[in-house]
């Protein structure tokens, strides 16, 4: 494990150079990796591990659309594809990738399949951190670890197929075997992580929930809506408003930020853009920082967890979710987006 400086802070990171794929295969050579759940992260992690030569099986509810998808992806019933309960029993390294609500519901069956010395791995710290709400209390005689890719399952798979990789955090909550850290790092390399950085279950879920509700999704969508609406109210066309709000960001500027950072992107824009962005940046920070503080407190207090579990447990949740997504899809900004995307060369 290497120490690297990020700003003024030293962090533990694991790279492919110091932990090559060959070493990862050796560390997990005697393990049967059972990926439980084939929804968001499951397909990417399971297929990447399979392509990298690990012994992988998949557990999924039989007869579900996700079961059918697993069959289409080449998992064979009775050989590499089993029910959740059977896969949990067969696995020695169990990667628990159901939804947070699903993990809570299936936990008794998964717990029953755990044996002394097994490894239980999560890709989200939710169920363990909020165990008082989920009931997921892990026995002390297993390794309890976390490997959390910093992106969607689609990105994990796509970047792997491109020969790249997405960064991931890792944590060790219980080290019963004495080799839990080595095993979770091997798993991270196996799923194709670019590099691994150390965290804890609690820090992972706090940062993840804040990020999803903030810059990554909630705040981003809200800011886009606000700017688009103001431009439209002042007579700008849908195409112009969308291009200035979304298209230029996603197709140009954010890629420059990804390559070399925000300062480099500023330096490679017009002087007019530079000056305006530098002047307005602190005003936006001052305006939204109180909202982020409120958001963090809501996460840390467990309120966001309660909201999620309550909503996801309601029988009509999927119908309500679809109605909310349909409303977003039918809004003018994203209808304009559909038209703009069709015109991309």
Catalytic residues: 124
Which contacts (CB < 8 Å, 24+ apart) does range 72-77 have?
73/43, 73/47, 75/46
Q: Which residues on neighbouring strands pair with residue 238, listed in sequence order? A: none
Element (H, E) at 321: helix 317-330
The Cα–Cα gap between 181 and 195 comes to: 15
Tokens (6 digits) for 213: 């509700």
For the stretch 238-257, what's the b/e string if a residue is b when 16 or more beta carbons lie within 10 angstroms of its beta carbon? beebbbebbbeeeeebeebe
The Cα–Cα gap between 129 and 145 comes to: 12
C-alpha 46 chain-centroid distance: 15
Decide the pairing of beta strands 56-59 and 81-82: parallel
**Closest by CA position to 241, among listed 252, 249, 232:** 232
Q: How many degrees, rounded to 5, is the angle at CA 214 between CA 36 and CA 203?
A: 55
Count the neighbouring beta carbons within 10 Å of the beta carbon of residue 336.
22
DSSP output for 229-274: HHHHHTT--HHHHHIIIIIHIIIIIHHHHHHH-HHHHHHTS-HHHH
């Amino acid at each position: 494990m290497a120490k690297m400086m990020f700003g003024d802070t030293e962090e533990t990171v694991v790279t492919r150079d110091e932990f090559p794929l060959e070493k990862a295969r050796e560390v997990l050579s005697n393990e049967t990796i059972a990926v439980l759940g084939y929804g968001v992260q499951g397909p990417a992690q399971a297929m990447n591990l399979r392509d990298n030569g690990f012994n992988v099986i998949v557990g999924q509810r039989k007869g579900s659309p996700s079961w059918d998808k697993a069959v289409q992806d080449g998992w064979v019933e009775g050989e590499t594809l089993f029910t959740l309960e059977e896969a949990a029993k067969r696995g020695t390294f169990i990667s628990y990738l159901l939804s947070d609500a699903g993990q809570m519901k299936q936990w008794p069956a998964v717990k029953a399949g755990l044996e002394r010395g097994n490894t239980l791995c999560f890709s989200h710290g939710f169920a363990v951190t909020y165990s008082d709400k989920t009931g997921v209390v892990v026995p002390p005689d297993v390794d309890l670890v976390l490997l959390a890719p910093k992106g969607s399952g689609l990105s994990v798979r796509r970047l792997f197929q491109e020969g790249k990789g997405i960064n991931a955090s890792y944590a060790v909550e219980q080290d019963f075997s004495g080799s839990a850290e080595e095993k979770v790092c091997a798993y991270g390399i196996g799923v194709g992580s670019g590099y691994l950085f150390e965290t804890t279950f609690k820090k992972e879920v706090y940062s993840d929930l804040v990020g999803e509700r903030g810059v990554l999704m909630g705040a981003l969508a809200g800011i886009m809506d606000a700017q688009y609406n103001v431009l439209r109210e002042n007579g700008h066309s849908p195409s112009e408003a969308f291009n200035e709000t979304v298209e230029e960001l996603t197709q140009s500027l954010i890629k420059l930020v990804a390559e070399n950072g925000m300062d480099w992107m500023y330096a490679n824009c017009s002087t007019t853009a530079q000056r305006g962005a530098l002047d307005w940046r602190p005003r936006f920070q001052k305006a939204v920082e109180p909202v982020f503080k409120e958001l963090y407190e809501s996460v840390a207090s467990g309120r966001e967890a309660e909201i999620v579990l309550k909503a996801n447990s309601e029988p009509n949740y999927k119908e309500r979710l679809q109605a909310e997504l349909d409303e977003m899809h039918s809004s003018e900004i994203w209808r304009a987006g559909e038209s703009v995307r069709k015109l991309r060369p």
